[in-house]
């Protein structure tokens, strides 16, 4: 029994068993977050990119396990070399999407600049290679396009969420075309990816992880911790060559992600 377990076992009798379990899970999450901060601070600045990806993948898989979320990957089998220099495009349900994709293969993500100022999380994101964009500034879209194109040319896999916001996961929102100029400029392939969340026991689709509306991040954390075990499906599509303009490529990618979701049922 770990020290955390012992402390929780000795908690006041007025605390119910579900409450103790909930507190224990949160404590374990805090310990895991501290481990991630330590790894980034001590190792990321000198290890090779392949080692960094392996560390991110291992940490993300443990995070999913702590949330009782199992990962299942469907679709085209791919390896790291198949994704190098590709732009992954995915639907967006929750902040946990990032760790689901990282558990499959860690790319570099494009995220809104506000995340950079979040305590702890913002620093972690920066250390793992997240590219930040100021959505309110049209000029910044031009800058980030060139940054993404350069990263794709250098062999990085870049993941974007073209819906521009999160949904309940049961429907796909329209894809914005701006970021699709980067793979056009870099002549980089597009890899469609879709995410689905299900109740593990029944296989039913669920909106439990959805980070939408007025929900806070802590609301979604509590919803996942208090809910039943889940399965996140990562559905991988066939690579698409960027032989069209950005608007056509965005529409084509949206159709490809929608087809993955439809086939998954």
pLDDT for 265: 78
Q: pLDDT tens for residues 35-82?
A: 999 999 999 989 999 999 999 999 999 999 999 999 999 998 898 899
pLDDT (tens digit, 9 = 90+) per residue, 229-252? Answer: 999 999 999 999 888 999 999 999
Q: What is the pLDDT of residue 117?
A: 81
Write the CA distances from 176 to 55, 72, 89, 123, 141, integer angstroms: 32, 28, 11, 27, 12
Q: Which parts of 155-245 fold into alpha helices (H)?
A: 181-186, 217-226
Alpha-carbon distance of 157 to 81, in angstroms, equals 10
DSSP-derived letter for residue 15 is: S
Q: Quick check: 209 and 92 in contact, CB under 8 A?
A: no
Token pair belonging to 12: 């006041």
Beginning with the edge strand found earlier in the chain, give each strand of the sheet holding 190-199 in spatial order: 69-75, 230-236, 190-199, 87-90, 158-160, 108-112, 131-133
Q: Worst-scoring range by mean pLDDT, 10-19, 20-29, 52-61, 104-113?
A: 10-19
pLDDT value of residue 66: 96
Phi, psi angles (nearest 5°) of residue 114: -60, -30
């Amino acid at each position: 029994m770990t020290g955390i377990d012992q402390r929780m076992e000795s908690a006041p009798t007025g605390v119910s068993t579900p409450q103790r379990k909930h507190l224990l899970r949160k404590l374990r999450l805090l310990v895991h977050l501290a481990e991630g901060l330590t790894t980034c601070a001590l190792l990321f600045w000198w290890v090779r990119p392949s080692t960094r990806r392996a560390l991110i993948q291992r940490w993300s898989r443990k995070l999913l396990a702590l949330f009782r979320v199992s990962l299942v990957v469907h679709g085209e089998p791919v390896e790291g070399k198949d994704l190098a220099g590709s732009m992954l495009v995915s639907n967006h349900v929750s902040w946990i999407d990032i760790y689901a994709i990282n558990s499959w293969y860690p790319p570099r993500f494009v995220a809104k600049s506000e995340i950079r100022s979040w305590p702890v999380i913002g620093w972690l994101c920066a250390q793992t290679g997240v590219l930040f964009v100021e959505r309110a500034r049209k000029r910044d879209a031009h800058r980030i396009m060139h940054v993404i194109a350069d990263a794709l040319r250098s062999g990085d896999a870049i993941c974007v969420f073209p819906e521009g916001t999160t949904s309940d996961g049961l429907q796909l929102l329209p894809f914005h075309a701006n970021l699709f100029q980067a793979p056009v400029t870099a002549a980089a392939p597009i890899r469609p990816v879709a995410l689905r969340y299900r109740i593990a026991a029944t296989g039913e689709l669920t909106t439990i992880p959805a980070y939408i509306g007025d929900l806070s991040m802590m609301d979604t954390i509590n919803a996942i911790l208090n809910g039943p075990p889940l399965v996140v499906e990562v559905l991988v599509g066939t690579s698409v060559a960027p032989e069209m303009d950005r608007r056509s490529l965005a529409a084509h990618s949206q159709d490809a992600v929608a087809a993955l979701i439809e086939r998954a049922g």
